[in-house]
Structure 1
């Protein structure tokens, strides 16, 4: 445990030094450049420079968000409004882009973050390397470094301790041990505090977050309505072309049988056998149709067994791991089931894989499903694709889809839906 703490403290010290240097250099330079560029906007010159500077600020803020996620596990959402795409060229295009950037409240929050980062943020970050450095210096004073320092000056102070001889040097060494203990305990927390301070400036405001959520819910509701309408049309078509056609044919056959019972009993018996087979086929089609609407195994045994049943029908080796300690709401289970079904269908049709792994588990209030195959890769969730449909289906429940599919494989599809299990 001590080794782990020492390692974490040293890593935090290095990261704190890097963050402080970025605050005193990059943040300061970008803040000055943005301020000067904005000052020249009324003169027209700033229109040419402001988009480049502000977009550079956004890129720098994006890099800080990435560091926050990697180093501290702190995720900071991007609050920016969409920019015109494609942007017009020339002076008019620069003017339009400048106007859109300046009207975005997130732009001003980025600039305020630069100011905070090069002052309070850098001050917090520099404590991480300063504490162990100060502690090590106190130990060096106790080891004899005090003598040349005191001899070269009228006096030397270590913090609040005046160094006059060995006794006070040992006091400085004890104080240095205190600083080292503080660094060992609090260095990682200082880095977290630095990123939490950045999150107060870079994350969307509650109002912006609510507006984005409303916009997303509106979009997903529209997609859900379109999907439901398409599903109803499919059911109507399947009933009309399948079971309904067979039932109509059965009615005609029964009329013929009724007319032939006295005239040609043998032919009536043959038609009766044919009608019985038609009834069996119609019942099978109805069962398939019902299974497509809501599979009985999903309703009776839950998502885990329903996914296992899907895997049994695949023409390839499939491993399914399920870790669920309850059941989600029926609509969530249905969305997750059909999302997995669509992903597995894509695997069979397009991947060229001979092995698939499916993992279903629930952690931290989120249902997470991953489907991995050893196929050729290259899968993308582009418009019109099956994966885009999966993304829309999950979006109805605030779910997300992530696809990692480099050329040559493997392909990893991750689906997450926020939910609770009963």
Structure 2
């Protein structure tokens, strides 16, 4: 009965929109040689992508068919607003999904319109839409290559930033103390016979400097790979994190043994960032930490972490300075994903998944 209403409504609404968008897109592309199309093509193509996304959503909601978005991700320069209008237009036209969307519009005007008017044939409209709007194997491969390029770029940037941090911490902390200690020992050597009392004081100071340098080196190592993680494993390390938070954290952690060290480290620092963000920005009364070993939608084994708080909400992973954006970039190096649900007023639920396989034994 619902199909009797959905089909005709879909036909009435989509036919004029498909005709209008097809006309605007074609005219805009025709006007490229005289320069006008450079300014009209990007907005018309964005409108077409929005329209195609709505149809993908309808196919999922009404037909139960998942239609992934096929579009190439924007380059970093375009996301940051550096790329000009011409480059933006060229990038859109070089994307094969642009032309597939355009080819889909005539099919939607004809076959789609006809099948929508005949409710028993509505599933045929859904399958046509899925076939024409989902990414091809070649497009999926290109997306994967682009994603690997992006994550490699992020990994290189993160490694360079980490090296600079280590160098800075060594230079400003332990190295300075060790240099001072070396100079003190030279002075002590000269004073040990002439002024034993002063030499004794300087020896005590050198001992204190060596202890402080050792503490700073331990802190530096802890920032690279926390000792609790190496000694007690990921579950205990995460529980220790939860206990150090200034707000109550209720944890439920179920993991089968140990995982590769880089994976455990990535999860540890991601959870640390999420808990710190919740306590610092959300003003919650309580935080819940759930960690389990599960299977994702494709059946692959993952560590799934969910951090929920009853705070004020409004968290987002957008923006280069976002703490969640940093977590997202760290996870992407391992093919991990991050999902954020944080309406204004809360609650906030952040879920991350990281592919992982337990170590034998």
TM-score (norm 2): 0.75
Q: Contact 1:19 / 1:122 at 8 angstroms: preserved in 2? A: no
The question of 1:248 aligning with 2:179 is answered: yes
Deviation at 1:228, TM superposition (A): 0.8
1:155 aligned residue: none
Aligned CA distance change for structure 1 residues 268 and 50 (closer, same or farther; 3 Å): closer
Superimposed CA distance per residue, residues 96-126 of structure 1 (whole angstroms, 9 cap, x where no aligned partner) = 9998766643244335545269648948993
Q: Contact 2:242 / 2:251 at 8 angstroms: preserved in 1? A: yes
CA distance in 1, matches of 2:97, 2:265: 38
Q: 1:126 aligns with which of 114, 119, 132?
A: 119
- The SS at the match of 1:415 is strand
Instruction: Note the 1:202-281 alignment, pairs <5 A.
Output: 202-281=133-212
Aligned CA distance change for structure 1 residues 394 and 100 (closer, same or farther; 3 Å): closer
Deviation at 1:262, TM superposition (A): 4.0
- The SS at the match of 2:288 is strand
The question of 1:332 aligning with 2:269 is answered: no
2:311 aligned residue: 375
The question of 1:392 aligning with 2:329 is answered: yes
2:69 aligned residue: 78
Aligned CA distance change for structure 1 residues 18 and 60 (closer, same or farther; 3 Å): farther
Query: RMSD over aligned Cα, in angstroms?
Result: 4.1
Unaligned runs of 5+ in 1: 1-12, 88-92, 129-189
Q: Contact 1:72 / 1:195 at 8 angstroms: preserved in 2? A: yes
2:8 aligned residue: 21
1:142 aligned residue: none
1:418 aligned residue: 355
Deviation at 1:263, TM superposition (A): 4.3
1:148 aligned residue: none
Deviation at 1:62, TM superposition (A): 1.5
The question of 1:315 aligning with 2:315 is answered: no
Deviation at 1:288, TM superposition (A): 0.9
Instruction: Note the 1:48-197 alignment, pairs <5 A.
Output: 57-70=48-61, 74-81=65-72, 104-113=95-104, 115=107, 119=111, 122=115, 126-127=119-120
- The SS at the match of 1:360 is strand
Number of residue-to-residue matches in the alignment: 340
In our comparison, the structure showing a higher alpha carbon Rg is: 1
Q: 2:219 aligns with which of 288, 294, 309?
A: 288
- The SS at the match of 1:319 is strand
Superimposed CA distance per residue, residues 133-165 of structure 1 (whole angstroms, 9 cap, x where no aligned partner) = xxxxxxxxxxxxxxxxxxxxxxxxxxxxxxxxx
CA distance in 1, matches of 2:90, 2:155: 35
1:355 aligned residue: 286
Aligned CA distance change for structure 1 residues 127 and 418 (closer, same or farther; 3 Å): farther
Deviation at 1:327, TM superposition (A): 3.9
Q: Contact 2:294 / 2:303 at 8 angstroms: preserved in 1? A: yes
CA distance in 2, matches of 1:219, 1:39: 32
2:346 aligned residue: 409
Aligned CA distance change for structure 1 residues 320 and 69 (closer, same or farther; 3 Å): farther
2:237 aligned residue: 306
Q: Contact 1:304 / 1:324 at 8 angstroms: preserved in 2? A: yes
Unaligned runs of 5+ in 2: none
CA distance in 2, matches of 1:337, 1:125: 55
